[in-house]
Copies of this chain bind each other. A is one copy, B any other.
Amino acid sequence: MPTIRDVAKKAGVSISTASYALNNQTNVHPDTKQKILAIAKELNYYPNGSARNLKTKRTGNIGVFVYGFAGPIFSDVLEGIRQTLQANNLNIIVSSGKASSNLLKERQVDGAIVFDGQLTDEVLIHYASQGHPLFVLDRNLVGNNIYSSVIDNEGLVYRFIKEMIQKGYDDFAFLSGPTIAFNNNHRYDGFKQALQEHRLSHTYIQGDFTIQSGYQAGLLLLKQDKRPRFVFCANDESAIGLIEALKQGGVKIPEDVAVAGFDNIVLDEYITPKLTTIGIDHMEWGKRVANALMDIINDHIPKDIQEPIGKIIYRESC
């Protein structure tokens, strides 16, 4: 493992000159510079990250922290973030679980984008309070150096349900996700608001965002003699489970029961009937967030953060 020392020695220059050359400083003679670079390449020299980070107090890494790797939604956001960071010469580091808080506490990242409800407010606030910019997605958190980008869950669902009411539906049910989920509650709020304006009541079914829970909800409905005409599901996965169960029970969708979800996951287009849903352009969202983070890092001026773009995607299920 060659160090800058070895490079300098072999080039017959001092360590500092080597450092200047390797860091593309102007104050070094072209000839010496070229010689140093050639030798660095020959020795396969790369600076030790830990040493550089310690000295410069920056790592060149941006942490992206997710709840788990299994979810289908994050991948596009990550890809959008990755592309933007790479264009700005920053490394993306995606992590999850205990590793996330370690990286944060030990300052192995210069900034962070958080998509993980498990990370405690305390850890996040402490990290940001040291001067590191922090972005929280789909979560409420205020503090110094903390920025957030939140999907307008409430507004989107509200608009959608209003349209469905215009279309003639008047007997709704809400298939809920876990009640501790930020998303879920806002979606429910929008749902209720729309109905309330038309003095419509609704049925509430508890689920937990999984396909399985949707399936269970479907079985539940099958047992009832009277079923809602429209089930709005807090996310697509539960909607898919619900449809699966209803279909097996001989219920026609959307003729007997109409269904819609939220998230626009890939699966939506491949089930029968294709699922109507509300979708976010995740890749674009990732890019916007990463760009906002870049702005903050580069000139410390928090530009106004644009909301992610959401839209209703009409397909066959309602």
Contacts and interface: CB of A to CB of B under 8 A. Distances in A.
A48 B76 CA distance: 32
Nearest to A78: B69
B108 A97 contact: no
Interface residues of A, number: 51
A29 to B, nearest CB: 27
Residues of A contacting B: mostly: mixed
A86 B99 contact: yes
Identical copies of this chain, number: 2
A296 B85 CA distance: 33
A92 B63 CA distance: 12
A220 interface: no
Contact of A82 (B69, B86, B90): B69
B92 A92 contact: no
A59 B50 contact: yes
Contacts of A98: 86, 91
Given A91-B102, A266-B267, A107 B49 contact: yes
A71 interface: yes
A95 B92 contact: yes
Contacts of A91: 95, 98-99, 102-103
Interface string A38-56: 0000001011111111100
Contacts of A92: 95-97, 99
A54 B60 contact: no
Q: Which of A51, A91, A96, A130 is the most central at the interface, judged by chain B CB atoms within 10 Å of its CB?
A: A91
Contacts of A76: 69-70
B75 A107 contact: no
B60 A68 contact: no
A1 interface: yes
Q: Which 3 A-B pairs have the closest CB atoms?
A: A49-B106, A91-B99, A50-B53
30 contacts: A1-B130, A46-B106, A48-B54, A48-B106, A49-B103, A49-B108, A50-B53, A60-B102, A68-B79, A69-B75, A69-B76, A69-B78, A69-B82, A69-B94, A71-B75, A72-B72, A72-B75, A75-B75, A82-B96, A85-B99, A91-B95, A91-B98, A91-B102, A92-B96, A93-B93, A93-B94, A94-B95, A267-B267, A270-B270, A272-B272
Interface of A: 1, 44, 46-54, 59-61, 68-72, 74-76, 78-79, 82, 85-86, 90-99, 102-103, 105-108, 126, 130, 240, 266-267, 270-272
